[in-house]
Chain A
Amino acid sequence: MLSFLSPLFLAGAAAAAVPIVLHLLKREPEARMKWAAVRLLKRAPVEHTARRHLRELILLALRVAAFVLLALAFARPFFATGAAVASSSVTIVALDTSYSLSAPGRFERARQLAKDAIARAPAGDLVGVVSFADEAEILAKPGADRVLAAAAIDEAAPGFGATRYRAALSAASQNLDGRRGTIVVVTDLQENGWDAGDHASVPAGTTIQLADVGALPPNLAVTAVRTLADRVVATIHNGGARPRDARVHLTIDGRPAGDAIVSLGPNQSADATFAGAPRGSSAAVAVDDPGGIQADNVRYAVLGGTSRPTVLVVTGSGDLGREAFYVQHALAAGTAANAAFQVASVGGAPLAAWTDDRLAAHAAVLLLSTRGLERRGRELLASYAQNGGGIFIAAGPDVDGDVVGDVLGAGSTLRMVTVNGTRPAPRALAPGDVRHPVFQAFAGSSATFGLVTFQNAARIGGSACQTLARFTTGDTALIECPAGEGRALVLASDLDNRWSDFPLHATFVPFLHEVVRYLASARAHASDYVIADVPPGVKRVPGVVTVTGAGRAGTGPRPIAVNVDPRETDPARMSVDDFQSAVTRLKDAGASRRIASISGSTRWR
């Protein structure tokens, strides 16, 4: 397809009207002359009028064409694709545009590395450009015009997304379109660019080269903002190797509401507390850090009741004090004023009388028992999950495996077998990947899960489910299953100190909080989003915006806070070899694309 680098110059083609106008205006009447030597002219190759008119028209066409071609030349036309170049080798430059490159001077270096990669591409290679962060975008399709590729790089700018190498390699592989080629990844090699269990596949014969932009500069970041009843707490992280004092500013509804200074050790986080009940609709906490990453210097939060989501606990009778004592107190941990969650309960039988809207008002559902849970109740839970709700299932002795299969909807592959009467076998839990949001808080102390003893456990699994943790026996301990637009976590044991002593350990409360936060983040009425997960139609820019429920029951217009993904501020880097080892080369390019697609669909948000 013919395209233009500078299409504005096409307006110059209007100058083609000049010879046409002159042709029409300058038409002179035919001259007549009495002449003596006509006999000498008669033998000449006299030009007939028709031929002369034809010649004039051709001359006019040539003049018009000259102007048009001049305009076309200035517009710099090119063919984006062509059959003649279909068999050429391809060099795809994947340029990292995550916000970790927004520190002063870093993206300029990335641009230069990308241009160098284009310049080094073998003569005759097609060159394409892909930018990537949370998602990849094709800036220039593979073509012979390297100026176009360089221009595309010039137009690129760092955004607010986080690094995701899988997206970059997937897009680059698709642009190779079955041809041999090289993928040059221009990035700062952040370790977080690979999600837990993530992998990428490229066609066999594809060479992957890495252009390292360099380590993150010393950086201060606001990684979290919590709004409590009587104060606002912001977590500030110092990503540098030297201690620093951070000046932190609180703004509520655009008005300054307080300043604080926080002393931070190397690679440490600390809270900046702004006392006083926040009154307003939104808060923003900013830290002064002109030399570091700019996009993480401010973080937004929505003030109001939505910051305390309600968690519904489903038990046999709805009596939390008797059937979910530990869960109730774990969720309500803290003072009465600043408890993380509001806890509600319902029995399995009464749930059948609920409506969708009533159930949808809850941020997450903990299913601890299926007793009394009739068909209507199961359908309600299935509808809740399909519409984006998060359900946690503790597969304890009160949970029937046959009933659980219906709770996640007809398409669920979850299978659970409760083994009753067997001899207890002590076992411990080991997280499969501490980078999963549920275990991320335990990244430095995940071994504490080993202190928990699980005497009994159900057998859980599912073809579409992903294993997050296993028991030391090798059995699956915690899985995540997709459920429509929602998600479900299934623990192969209970939470009530019957099959395990989990509630008696220190990890129980934070584990339960992280589970609820993770499940609640999938709900449309969550108030805090990272860039990669913003609802459709919301601009991927940090800030507080108002969204509608898109017709979904129980979700009217509401403010949400959109923030950058704090994981991107992690300065941990990987080596080139580590990067290469995460990439699989497949002989079948089609399989590569299919795997990339499947991988993309299961990417954690």
Chain B
Amino acid sequence: MPRPARDRPFLDPTVVARLGTLELKARTIVEGFLSGLHRSPFKGFSVEFAEYRQYIPGDALSTIDWKVYARSDRYYVKKFEEETNLDCHLLLDVSGSMAYGSHHALSKFEYGGCLAAALGYLMNRQRDAVGLTAFDENIVTMLPVSSRPGHLLALLVTLDRLQCGRKTNVAKPLNLLADTLTKRGIVVLISDLLDNPDEIIRGLKHFQFRGIDVIVFHVLDHDEIEFPFDRATRFEDLETSEEIMAVPGAVRGHYLREIGALIERYRRELGASGIDYQLLDTNRPLELALLSYLSTRSRAL
């Protein structure tokens, strides 16, 4: 059973935000997360040859390679490595709306980047093939899936170079990606989903039709969930620069109903389609996202 987040400060987004490189952030998140688990959720489900090693008393006799013994008259144990048969696609929304972040926490873009890096680190550690697709209204960057050890570095470098882009069109890259995927795997969408929900849900179902499991991480800032403002404010849209003057006291009720209805719709319709949906508050630890991923992965295998 995981320890409470307060006992593992490394998973606190405010702590993660102070860490240097994205790799360090990802490693800190994942190692901290894994150290909190009593058992590894991933044990060998397929093996491939890795190396030979001299027999040590106590090793299982079934692991001795008798052919090598016949050639060299020495006992060698055949070591196998876990081998993934899973392709994991990380879809990271880098549209302008992801740039929002309250002053006391990571922005949604940073939070999503950390999450993508942590997932990539975790996948790479499990020898899963992982790829990255960053998009706004188009696909900005696409890193093909791979399980090579050096692929993690490429993924982290790619993540580190990303910048928030322009308008959001989540459905378009989803459909493009769904058409190109031929192998079963997992698609992880990290986005604030502030777009047309009908198209987003339709795009996600597109993956489902192709037998690909989908995890949706709905990243929202705490302010976007609670709307804690009180002064009359001119709100400027991060993507369209459209401005609207509002008195929070007057619109709070309506806004909270709207955002609540949006979240509830995603949760309900995606859940009905077998798509894992996880709402992430940028103020909360990333372990929820990792647990959700592992849960979906185990179900996919």
Check A47 against B234 for contact (C-beta < 8 Å): no
Residue A25 is within 8 A (CB to CB) of chain B in the complex: no
Check B255 against A44 for contact (C-beta < 8 Å): yes
Closest 10 CB pairs of A and B: A36-B97, A44-B254, A38-B237, A44-B251, A35-B235, A36-B100, A31-B233, A40-B258, A47-B250, A47-B247
Residues of A within 8 A of B192 (CB): 36
In the bound complex, CA of A31 to CA of B96 (Å): 21
Residues of A within 8 A of B224 (CB): 36-37
In the complex, per-residue mask of B225-245: 1 if CB is within 8 Å of any chain A CB, else 0: 000010111111111101011
Residues of A within 8 A of B233 (CB): 30-33
From B98, B236, B247, contact of A35 by CB (8 A): B236
From B236, B247, B262, contact of A33 by CB (8 A): B236
Question: What bracket does the count of chain A residues touching chain B fall in?
Answer: 20 to 34
Residue A34 is within 8 A (CB to CB) of chain B in the complex: yes
Q: Taking the nearest CB of chain A, how far is it from the CB of B149, in angstroms? A: 37
Check B234 against A30 for contact (C-beta < 8 Å): yes
In the complex where A44-B246, A44-B258 touch, is A32 in contact with B194 (Cβ < 8 A)? no
Residues of A within 8 A of B98 (CB): 36
11 A-B pairs with C-beta separation under 8 A: A32-B236, A33-B234, A33-B236, A34-B236, A34-B238, A37-B255, A38-B242, A41-B235, A46-B250, A47-B246, A47-B247
A32 closest partner in B (C-beta): B234
Residues of A within 8 A of B245 (CB): 30, 46-49
From A32, A43, A48, contact of B258 by CB (8 A): A43
Residue B162 is within 8 A (CB to CB) of chain A in the complex: no
In the bound complex, CA of A49 to CA of B236 (Å): 16
Residues of B within 8 A of A40 (CB): 194, 255, 258-259, 262
Check B232 against A42 for contact (C-beta < 8 Å): no
Q: Taking the nearest CB of chain A, how far is it from the CB of B104, in angstroms? A: 15
Residue A551 is within 8 A (CB to CB) of chain B in the complex: no
In the complex where A31-B231, A45-B251 touch, is A37 in contact with B194 (Cβ < 8 A)? yes
In the bound complex, CA of A32 to CA of B234 (Å): 5
Residue A39 is within 8 A (CB to CB) of chain B in the complex: yes
Q: Taking the nearest CB of chain B, how far is it from the CB of A56, in angstroms? A: 10
In the complex, per-residue mask of B179-207: 1 if CB is within 8 Å of any chain A CB, else 0: 00000000000001010000000000000
- Enumerate A48-62 residues with CB–CB distance to B below 8 Å: 48-49, 52
Check A31 against B237 for contact (C-beta < 8 Å): no
Q: Taking the nearest CB of chain A, how far is it from the CB of B244, in angstroms? A: 6
In the complex, per-residue mask of B82-119: 1 if CB is within 8 Å of any chain A CB, else 0: 00000000000000111110000000100000000000
Most buried by B among A37, A43, A45: A37
In the complex where A43-B258, A46-B245 touch, is A35 in contact with B237 (Cβ < 8 A)? yes
User: Inter-chain contact count A-B, CB under 8 Å?
Assistant: 90
Residue A28 is within 8 A (CB to CB) of chain B in the complex: yes
Q: Taking the nearest CB of chain B, how far is it from the CB of A47, in angstroms? A: 5
- Enumerate A246-272 residues with CB–CB distance to B below 8 Å: none
Q: Taking the nearest CB of chain A, how far is it from the CB of B248, in angstroms? A: 10
Check A41 against B255 for contact (C-beta < 8 Å): yes
Residues of B within 8 A of A31 (CB): 231-234
B256 closest partner in A (C-beta): A40
Residues of B within 8 A of A47 (CB): 245-247, 250-251
Q: Taking the nearest CB of chain B, how far is it from the CB of A34, in angstroms? A: 5
Report which B residues bind A (CB closer than 8 A): 96-100, 108, 192, 194, 221, 224, 229, 231-240, 242, 244-247, 250-251, 254-255, 258-259, 262
Residues of B within 8 A of A32 (CB): 233-234, 236
Q: Taking the nearest CB of chain A, how far is it from the CB of B263, in angstroms? A: 11
From B232, B240, B250, B259, contact of A37 by CB (8 A): B259
| A36-B96, A39-B194 known, 5 other contacts, Cβ within 8 Å | A36-B194, A36-B221, A37-B255, A44-B258, A52-B247
Residues of B within 8 A of A34 (CB): 99-100, 235-238
Q: Taking the nearest CB of chain B, how far is it from the CB of A578, in angstroms? A: 78
Residues of A within 8 A of B234 (CB): 30-33
Residues of A within 8 A of B99 (CB): 34, 36
In the bound complex, CA of A44 to CA of B192 (Å): 20
Check B100 against A35 for contact (C-beta < 8 Å): yes
In the bound complex, CA of A36 to CA of B237 (Å): 6
Check B238 against A45 for contact (C-beta < 8 Å): no
B97 closest partner in A (C-beta): A36
Check A36 against B108 for contact (C-beta < 8 Å): yes
Check B100 against A41 for contact (C-beta < 8 Å): no
Residues of A within 8 A of B194 (CB): 36-37, 39-40
In the bound complex, CA of A43 to CA of B246 (Å): 11
In the bound complex, CA of A40 to CA of B246 (Å): 12
In the complex where A35-B238, A36-B100, A36-B192 touch, is A46 in contact with B244 (Cβ < 8 A)? yes
Residues of B within 8 A of A44 (CB): 246, 250-251, 254-255, 258
From A28, A39, A46, contact of B246 by CB (8 A): A46
In the bound complex, CA of A30 to CA of B229 (Å): 13
Residues of A within 8 A of B236 (CB): 32-35, 38
Q: Taking the nearest CB of chain B, how far is it from the CB of A142, in angstroms? A: 52
Residues of B within 8 A of A37 (CB): 97, 194, 224, 255, 259
In the bound complex, CA of A49 to CA of B247 (Å): 9
B262 closest partner in A (C-beta): A40
In the bound complex, CA of A31 to CA of B244 (Å): 12
In the bound complex, CA of A35 to CA of B98 (Å): 10
Q: Taking the nearest CB of chain A, how far is it from the CB of B140, in angstroms? A: 18
B261 closest partner in A (C-beta): A40
Check B246 against A41 for contact (C-beta < 8 Å): yes
In the bound complex, CA of A76 to CA of B78 (Å): 104
Q: Taking the nearest CB of chain A, how far is it from the CB of B123, in angstroms? A: 28
In the bound complex, CA of A474 to CA of B192 (Å): 123
Residues of A within 8 A of B240 (CB): 38
Q: Taking the nearest CB of chain A, how far is it from the CB of B148, in angstroms? A: 36
In the bound complex, CA of A28 to CA of B235 (Å): 16
B223 closest partner in A (C-beta): A35
In the bound complex, CA of A196 to CA of B194 (Å): 105
Check B251 against A52 for contact (C-beta < 8 Å): no
Check A38 against B251 for contact (C-beta < 8 Å): no
In the bound complex, CA of A277 to CA of B250 (Å): 97
In the bound complex, CA of A551 to CA of B68 (Å): 155
From A30, A36, A38, A52, contact of B244 by CB (8 A): A38
In the bound complex, CA of A41 to CA of B244 (Å): 8
Check A45 against B254 for contact (C-beta < 8 Å): yes
A38 closest partner in B (C-beta): B237
Residues of B within 8 A of A28 (CB): 231
Check A30 against B246 for contact (C-beta < 8 Å): no
From B232, B242, B258, B259, contact of A30 by CB (8 A): B232
Q: Taking the nearest CB of chain A, how far is it from the CB of B219, in angstroms? A: 11
In the bound complex, CA of A39 to CA of B259 (Å): 10
Check A41 against B232 for contact (C-beta < 8 Å): no
Residues of A within 8 A of B250 (CB): 44-47
Check A42 against B251 for contact (C-beta < 8 Å): no
In the bound complex, CA of A30 to CA of B99 (Å): 22
In the complex where A34-B238, A36-B194 touch, is A42 in contact with B231 (Cβ < 8 A)? no
In the bound complex, CA of A45 to CA of B254 (Å): 8
Q: Taking the nearest CB of chain A, how far is it from the CB of B222, in angstroms? A: 13
In the bound complex, CA of A45 to CA of B234 (Å): 15
Check B238 against A36 for contact (C-beta < 8 Å): yes
Check B247 against A38 for contact (C-beta < 8 Å): no
In the bound complex, CA of A47 to CA of B248 (Å): 9
Residues of A within 8 A of B244 (CB): 38, 41-42, 46
